Amino acid sequence: MSKKIVDSVVKFADLDDQTKNLINEAVKVRKLAYCPYSNFQVGAAFRTPEGDIYTGCNVENAGFTPTQCAERTAMGKAVSEGDRKFTACAVAAFQKDSFTSPCGVCRQFMMEFADEDFPVYLVKDEPEINNVLCTSVFNLLPYGFKTFVEK
Ligand SMILES: O=c1ccn([C@H]2C[C@H](O)[C@@H](CO)O2)c(=O)[nH]1
Ligand SMILES: [Zn+2]
């Protein structure tokens, strides 16, 4: 288990092509968000060790509580296609002044599949203009609950 990722704010232009692509995928899927109650579109993209990318948007519900975040949509898609390992993730919303950060439920959901710590890129409305925050699952959920079962 590694907890070596240090949070950093970086310029989009300085990221490697794989990461730029991951962020662009999160931005693309953001438009598909079903969010008639909050009007807050979020897109997420997760990369697997093979380089595949799973994307997801938030899916809201009249009952509010059943609302599913973009991150969990993407991870649910991956797991149901047989992919349970991730090497990076990007989350894109439309906030201009702050980075939209995964909610507590999504952090716990990410922890379930974080055998190795992986970078989490948080982007603002326009990642190519604004800076990107690079954090990690373990930085977002320090001392999070994990039973280390074999998956
Ligand atoms: O990281 C986040 C934060 C919020 N939301 C969604 C949940 C809800 O639909 C809307 C407003 O909270 O944004 C996500 O999908 N991911
Ligand atoms: Zn969430």
- The answer as to whether 69 is a domain residue is yes
- The answer as to whether 128 is a domain residue is yes
Please tell me whether residue 77 adopts helix, strand or coil conformation.
helix
DSSP character at residue 91: E
Phi, psi (rounded to 5 degrees) for 136? -150, 165
Q: Catalytic residue at 71?
A: yes
- The answer as to whether 150 is a domain residue is no
Confidence of residue 119 (pLDDT cuts 50, 70, 90): very high
Instruction: Please say if the pLDDT value at position 1 is more than 60.
Output: no
Whole-model pTM: value is: 0.95
Tens digit of each residue's pLDDT (9 = 90 or more) over 33-73: 999 999 999 999 999 999 999 999 999 999 999 999 999 99
Confidence of residue 115 (pLDDT cuts 50, 70, 90): confident
- The answer as to whether 2 is a domain residue is no
- The answer as to whether 74 is a domain residue is yes
Phi, psi (rounded to 5 degrees) for 53? -125, 130
Which of these ranges, 33-37, 64-68, 77-81, 97-101, has the smallest mean pLDDT? 97-101
Neighbours of ion ligand 2 (CB under 5 A): 69, 103, 106
Minimal CA–CA distance to 93: which of 58, 67, 66, 119?
Answer: 58
Instruction: Please say if the pLDDT value at position 151 is more than 80.
Output: no
- The answer as to whether 149 is a domain residue is no
- The answer as to whether 151 is a domain residue is no
Catalytic hit among 50, 71, 81, 150: 71
Mean pLDDT along residues 116-138? 93
- The answer as to whether 146 is a domain residue is no
Which ligand gives the minimal distance to the CA of 33? 1
Q: What is the pLDDT of residue 128?
A: 85
Q: What is the pLDDT of residue 3?
A: 62
Question: What value does the mean pLDDT of the chain take?
Answer: 94
Three-state SS string over 5-66 comes to: CCCEEECHHHCCHHHHHHHHHHHHHHCCCECCCCCCCCEEEEECCCCCEEEEECECCCCCCC
Question: What total number of domains does the chain contain?
Answer: 1
What number is the ipTM of this complex? 0.99
Residue pair 128/10 in contact by the 8 Å Cβ criterion: no
Instruction: Please say if the pLDDT value at position 102 is more than 80.
Output: yes
CATH number for the domain including 120?
3.40.140.10
Minimal CA–CA distance to 34: which of 46, 43, 26?
Answer: 43
Which ligand gives the minimal distance to the CA of 29? 1
Instruction: Please say if the pLDDT value at position 148 is more than 80.
Output: no
Instruction: Name the β-bridge partners of 122.
Output: 91, 133
Task: Quote the domain boundaries for residue 95.
Answer: 8-140
